[in-house]
A = this chain, B = another copy of it.
Amino acid sequence: MGTRQEISELPPDADLARADSLAREIFSDIANKWALLIIEFLGQRTMRFSELRDAIGGISHKMLTQNLRTLERNGLVERHVHATVPPRVDYTLTEAGQALRGVVDGMCGWTQHHLGTIEACRSRFDAS
């Protein structure tokens, strides 16, 4: 038989593969424009749906709900519904969301810091 079964305490290949595909799945969920912008803006403070929509700008109603659901499913965002009329829904980052926020801040900072360089690179690239 294969040598791998000898150390039964370690997860078998099947489990490693599953964890890997899960990691990829999660990575795909968060590594997209809208999800990261939501994280970034919600990181500043709790916001209701329409506030967030206006803060981000350029995101459609549908995209916002859709991405918020995905983030909620992954435990990055908490949804609080107030039983008022008109209804009010607040969104907050969870602890995990806040942790990710640090990373997203880094991305935004990187973008700001390299704006000029990138613009120059683009001009050079587009010229040729």
Contacts and interface: CB of A to CB of B under 8 A. Distances in A.
Nearest to A57: B24
A9 interface: no
Interface of A: 19, 22-24, 26-28, 30-33, 36-37, 58, 72-75, 96, 99-100, 102-103, 106-108, 110-112, 114-115, 117-122, 125-126
**Across the A-B interface, the 5 shortest Cβ-Cβ residue pairs:** A75-B121, A103-B106, A73-B125, A31-B33, A31-B36
How many copies of the chain does the oligomer comprise? Answer: 2
A33 B26 contact: no
A112 B103 CA distance: 14
DSSP majority for the A interface?
A: helix
B26 A115 contact: yes
Contacts of A117: 75, 96
A124 to B, nearest CB: 8
Contacts of A122: 73-75
Given A28-B33, A103-B106, A74 B23 contact: no
Contacts of A58: 24
A121 B27 contact: no
**Most B C-beta atoms less than 10 A away, residue of A99, A103, A108:** A103
Contacts of A73: 121-122, 125-126
